[in-house]
Structure formats: structure tokens, C-alpha cells
């Protein structure tokens, strides 16, 4: 008899950071659809409640925790709330990310140091803080677990006027490889997704008024379109589930085949 249980997340709890909208919401809903209860870790409580409502509509439990992932104290409180509500946590999705205010693009010579530091803090340091808290919890309780980091295609190819964002996302890929190497012996897997253009508010803001760029970019994509949040969500489910039990330290590019392109079309 065929056994499909490895492809689900029944009986597990997943923390999804930044899951109030966009890719984070897509991941939270797909993980709930696969059977997981969800901790919606998000600064924007109203948006988080909308995601939580969607999770509950699928018959799963959802806990909204107002969380600043750049603060160790806030992440510590989020972990404590998750433990109190669910008794344990099995999956961490480090999804929070930012291109800057309204998708702001800034070249190196025009970039302020505080802008550089802000993007690294939001996109990279946040993953360090959350992973440290989650993996520390797994080790203390002798639990296996899975971390799914969200990077970007910008980690592999240059995005126009996005040196800080690209550097931070490349750091996410490096964190993924190092943590996978360090904690594989503890039955902790760490993998990464590098999305290309996905239809989210963040990306829509970046391409506002640039329809010609969007059209040109799609011509370079074998699938000829942007991705959708739920498509990234289903990949995250696979990496979090036992279906990928022999996979760790990997970065999966989800871009519709869009890899070889000029910086002017991003």
C-alpha cells in the first residue's frame, strides 16, 4: 500500500516569520494545508490575524505572536509563546525580508551606511537570531527539526542597484550551508529557497511603473511568468517534511527557470 505520510506535516508545529502577507502567508497556508499548526510571527498584527484566520479555516491551530525578528528578546518571547501554546515546535521558516522602503533601489555610491546596515539586519541578522533560538531549543530537548530559510535569486545573480540586499541574501545561503554541516549530526536539517520574482506586495512595489521591465524579464523566463506565493509554499512544505529527509544544506532556486539574465531586467 502506498504511504504518503512523508509528504505531510501532520502533528507538527511550524513557525513562519513575516507571514502576514506575500510569500510568508503562502508558506503558512500551505503548511497548514499539509497538516501543521502555525505560529504566525509578524510585526503587523492585523495582517497576521488574516493569515491566522486562513490557517484556522483549514482546521489547523494558529497562534499570532507580534515579533521583531531583529530583536533577541522578542524572538525569545515568541519561542516561549509557541512552546506554551503547542508544547513544542518542529519547523522554522525564516521568511522575513526587505528590499528597503517601498522597494527602494540605491547604488553603492549613493547608499548610506545606515541603509546598508538596516538591510543586513532585516535580511540576514534576523535569520541568525531566529535560527539560534530554534536550534538551541531543539538541542536542549533532543528533538529533530527542520529550518527553511528564504533567500532570493539575488544571492546568485546581480540585481540592479541592490548591493546590500544581494549581499544579505548570499549570506543566507552561506548560513544554510554552515548550519546544515554543524547540526546534521543532531538530526536537524537546514535548507534554503531562493525565489525569483513572486507576486507579492514587496515585488509589486519594486516594479511599480516598470511594466516594460516586467515584460522583458518574462521573455527570459522559460515559464514566461512570475511565481505565486503558494508555489513557494509547497516547496517549503517539501523541505520541511520527511519527503526531503535526505536533503540538507541545499538552496533550491524557484524562479521559473529565470537565472541567466541581464541586471537591467531585474
Across the chain, mean pLDDT equals: 91
The answer to whether residues 8 and 244 touch, using CB atoms and an 8 Å cutoff, is no
pLDDT in tens, 12-28: 999 999 999 999 999 99
User: How many other C-beta atoms are found inside a 10 Å radius of the C-beta of residue 133?
Assistant: 19
CB atoms < 10 A from the CB of 140, how many? 8
| Residue 200 pLDDT | 83
Rounded-to-integer distance, Cα 61 and Cα 35, Å = 10
DSSP calls for 187-225: TEEEEEEEE-SB-SHHHHHHTTT-HHHHHHHHHHSTT-S
| Confidence band for 264, pLDDT divided at 50, 70 and 90 | very low
For the entire predicted model, the pTM comes to 0.92
| Cβ–Cβ under 8 Å, residues 49 and 255 | no
Q: Using one digit for the tens of pLDDT, what is the confidence trace for 133-168?
A: 999 999 999 999 999 999 999 898 877 768 899 999
Q: Is 37 helix (H, G, I), strand (E, B) or coil?
A: strand
CATH of domain 11-255: 3.40.50.720
CB 127 within 8 A of CB 148: no
| E strand segments, 18-122 | 37-42, 62-66, 91-94
Give the pLDDT mean for 42-59: 97
Tell me the torsion sign for CA atoms 194, 216, 201, 118. Answer: positive
Given a cut of 90, whether residue 265 has pLDDT beyond it is: no
Active site residue 183: no
Please report the pLDDT score of residue 2 as a whole number: 55
User: What's the rounded mean pLDDT across residues 117-125?
Assistant: 97
For 18, left (φ over 0), alpha (ψ -120 to 50), or beta? Answer: left
From the candidates 7, 137, 159, 165, which is the catalytic residue?
Answer: 165
Q: Does the pLDDT at position 205 exceed 60?
A: yes
Find the mean pLDDT for residues 230-248. Answer: 98
Percent of the chain with pLDDT over 90: 73
Find all residues with CB under 8 Å of 128, minimum gap 6, and list them: 175
- Whole-angstrom CA distances from 139 to 75, 131, 142, 145 are 17, 12, 5, 10
Give the mean model confidence (pLDDT) for residues 212-221.
76
Amino acid at each position: 500500500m502506498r504511504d504518503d505520510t512523508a509528504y505531510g506535516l501532520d502533528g507538527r508545529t511550524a513557525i513562519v516569520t513575516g507571514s502576514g502577507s506575500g510569500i510568508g502567508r503562502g508558506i503558512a497556508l500551505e503548511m497548514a494545508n499539509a497538516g501543521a499548526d502555525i505560529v504566525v510571527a509578524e510585526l503587523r498584527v492585523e495582517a497576521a490575524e488574516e493569515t491566522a484566520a486562513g490557517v484556522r479555516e483549514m482546521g489547523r491551530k494558529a497562534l499570532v505572536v507580534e515579533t521583531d525578528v531583529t530583536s533577541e528578546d522578542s524572538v525569545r518571547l515568541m519561542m516561549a509563546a509557541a512552546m506554551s501554546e503547542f508544547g513544542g515546535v518542529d519547523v522554522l521558516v525564516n521568511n522575513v525580508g526587505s528590499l528597503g522602503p517601498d522597494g527602494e533601489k540605491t547604488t553603492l555610491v549613493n547608499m548610506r551606511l545606515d541603509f546598508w546596515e538596516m538591510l543586513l539586519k532585516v535580511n540576514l541578522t534576523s535569520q541568525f537570531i531566529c535560527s539560534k533560538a530554534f536550534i538551541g531549543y531543539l538541542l536542549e530537548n533532543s528533538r529533530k527539526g527542520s529550518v527553511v530559510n528564504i533567500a532570493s535569486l539575488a544571492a546568485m545573480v546581480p540585481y540592479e542597484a541592490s548591493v546590500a540586499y544581494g549581499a544579505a541574501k548570499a549570506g543566507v545561503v552561506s548560513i544554510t550551508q554552515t548550519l546544515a554541516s554543524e547540526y546534521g549530526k543532531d538530526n536537524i536539517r537546514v535548507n534554503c529557497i531562493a525565489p525569483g520574482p513572486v507576486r507579492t506586495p514587496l515585488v509589486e512595489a519594486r516594479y511599480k511603473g516598470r511594466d516594460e521591465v516586467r515584460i522583458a524579464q518574462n521573455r527570459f523566463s522559460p515559464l514566461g511568468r512570475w511565481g505565486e506565493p503558494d508555489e513557494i509554499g509547497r516547496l517549503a512544505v517539501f523541505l520541511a517534511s520527511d519527503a526531503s529527509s535526505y536533503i540538507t544544506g541545499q538552496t533550491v532556486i524557484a524562479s521559473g527557470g529565470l537565472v541567466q539574465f541581464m541586471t537591467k531586467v531585474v
